Amino acid sequence: MSAFPRAAELGLIGCHVCRLVCADAPGDHDPADELACPRCGSALHRRKPYSYMRTWALMIAAFILYIPANVLPIMRTASLNDIDDNTIISGVVELWVKGSPDLAIIVFTASIVVPMLKFLSLSTLLVSSQRGSGWAQPQRARLYRLVEFIGYWSMLDVFVVALLTALVRFGLLSLVEPLPGVIFFGLTVVLTMLASMSFDPRLIWDGRDSDD
């Protein structure tokens, strides 16, 4: 891969907002003078400023919120004299026991497997990039694109609770209410999405170059 010229060597810089490829300023220009994209006016950076720090901060915050998201109940179902509060895991078990294994697998994958894989994948990308590792760079770039792609599907639990709350309204016969766990889970998903957006995948190819 080192045989291919880099954008910096060609005097080019890409806008991270509209993706326009612009001419970079000479290397001896004053860093305080920010370059601006001629099309959208956004500030141009060779790499996203403070990408490592922002991504680590967002991911750690998401992991902290992920704990109460799994411990606290996310939904309450009330039917006649029966009131049942379900966490994510208990909801998966109940779906499986009541004869919906397919739906249980989907919820388990979207609510447990996907967030944990995102934490693991982002940690791998951050650690390997910060250490300047040249290990499996094309595969790590594809891993980042996969993390971005599957991020939106993590909201499945929130959508299910919202739909059930809106649809199951039969007065005293049946009722579905969201509980605090769903708020923590939603915040976890949003923070992991922001963390993947904050990470600059070009750092994978930079080795120990600065991300400022």
* DSSP string over 186-210: HHHHHHHHHHHHHS-GGGGGTTT--
Q: What span, in angstroms and rounded, lies between the C-alpha atoms of 74 and 81?
A: 20
pLDDT of residue 65: 94
Question: Would you kindly state where each structural domain of the chain is located, as residue ranges?
Answer: 1-46, 47-205
Q: What span, in angstroms and rounded, lies between the C-alpha atoms of 64 and 83?
A: 29
pLDDT of residue 24: 76
Q: Is 83 exposed, middle or buried (0-12, 13-18, 19+ CB in 10 A)?
A: exposed
List, run by run, the mean pLDDT of 10-residue segments along the chain (212 residues). 67 82 66 72 83 94 93 78 79 80 81 88 91 84 86 65 58 67 87 90 70 42
Q: CB of 77 within 8 A of CB of 84?
A: yes
pLDDT of residue 165: 59
> Tell me, what DSSP letter sits at residue 111?
I
Q: What span, in angstroms and rounded, lies between the C-alpha atoms of 14 and 2?
A: 20
Q: Which residues have CB under 8 Å from 63's CB, separation 6+?
A: 119, 188
For domain 47-205, give its CATH number from 1.10.10, 1.20.1300, 1.20.140, 3.30.300: 1.20.140
pLDDT of residue 122: 92
Q: Which amino acid, 131?
A: R
Q: What span, in angstroms and rounded, lies between the C-alpha atoms of 75 and 190?
A: 19
